[in-house]
Amino acid sequence: MPSPTETSIRGSIAICGLGVTPMGKIYDRDARDFAAEAIQLALADAGLVKTDLDGLLINAGIGPAGAINLQLQNQLGLHDLRLLNHMNAQGATAASMVQYAALAVHHGMANYVACVFADAPLREGRGAGAAYGGAGAGRGGPTGIASLTSAYGFFGANTGYALAARRYMDLYGVTSDQLGAVAVAQRQWAMMNPHATKRSPITIDDYHNSRWIVEPLHLLDCCLVTNGAVAVIVTSAERAQAAASDPAYIWGMGQGHPGNDRRAGRDPYTSSGATLSKRTAFAMAGVDNDDVDVCELYDCYTYTVLRTIEDYGFCEKGEAGSFVADGRTKPGGSFPLNTGGGQLSSFYMWGMTPLAEGVEQARGGAGDRQVDKHDIVLVSGNGGTLDTHATLVLGAQPN
The secondary structure of 302-314 as a DSSP string is: HHHHHHHHHHTTS
Q: What is the structure's pLDDT at 94?
A: 98
- Which whole number is the average pLDDT over 369-392? 96
Q: What is the structure's pLDDT at 163?
A: 92
**Which of 168-182, 252-266, 330-344 shows the lowest per-residue confidence on average (mean pLDDT)?**
252-266
Residue 233 — pLDDT band, cuts 50, 70, 90?
A: very high
Q: What is d(CA 388, CA 399) in angstroms, rounded to the nearest whole number?
A: 29
Residue 149 — pLDDT band, cuts 50, 70, 90?
A: confident
- Cα–chain center distance at 28: 25
How is residue 89 annotated by DSSP?
A: B
Q: What is d(CA 187, CA 224) in angstroms, rounded to the nearest whole number?
A: 12
Contact 392, 98 (CB under 8 A): yes
- Which whole number is the average pLDDT over 353-361? 98
Q: What is the structure's pLDDT at 262?
A: 65
Q: What is d(CA 171, CA 17) in angstroms, rounded to the nearest whole number?
A: 43
Q: What is the structure's pLDDT at 136?
A: 43
Q: What is d(CA 307, CA 267) in angstroms, rounded to the nearest whole number?
A: 14
pLDDT at 5 over 70: no
Q: What is the structure's pLDDT at 116?
A: 98
* The one catalytic residue among 100, 298, 301, 303: 298
pTM of the complete model: 0.94
pLDDT per position as a tens digit, 244-298: 999 999 999 999 998 876 666 666 677 899 999 999 999 999 999 999 999 999 9
Q: What is d(CA 253, CA 255) in angstroms, rounded to the nearest whole number?
A: 7
Residue 135 — pLDDT band, cuts 50, 70, 90?
A: very low
How does the average pLDDT of the chain come out, rounded? 92
Q: What is d(CA 331, CA 153) in angstroms, rounded to the nearest whole number?
A: 40
**What is the H or E stretch that residue 294 is in?**
strand 294-296
Contact 182, 306 (CB under 8 A): yes
Q: Examine the residue annotation and report whether 312 is marked as an active-site residue of this protein.
A: no
Q: What is the structure's pLDDT at 62?
A: 84
Domains and CATH numbers, the chain: 13-122+224-395 (3.40.47.10)
pLDDT per position as a tens digit, 177-193: 999 999 999 999 999 99
Q: What is the structure's pLDDT at 383?
A: 94
Length of the chain: 399
**Which of 28-37, 129-138, 258-267, 355-364 shows the lowest per-residue confidence on average (mean pLDDT)?**
129-138
- Cα–chain center distance at 67: 19
pLDDT at 1 over 80: no
Residue 157 — pLDDT band, cuts 50, 70, 90?
A: confident
pLDDT at 315 over 80: yes
pLDDT at 38 over 70: yes
Contact 73, 56 (CB under 8 A): yes
Q: Examine the residue annotation and report whether 207 is marked as an active-site residue of this protein.
A: no
Residue 138 — pLDDT band, cuts 50, 70, 90?
A: very low
Contacts of 316 (CB under 8 A, 6+ apart): 310
Task: Name the burial class of residue 264, with classes exposed (0-12), middle (13-18) and buried (19+) by CB atoms within 10 angstroms of its CB.
Answer: exposed
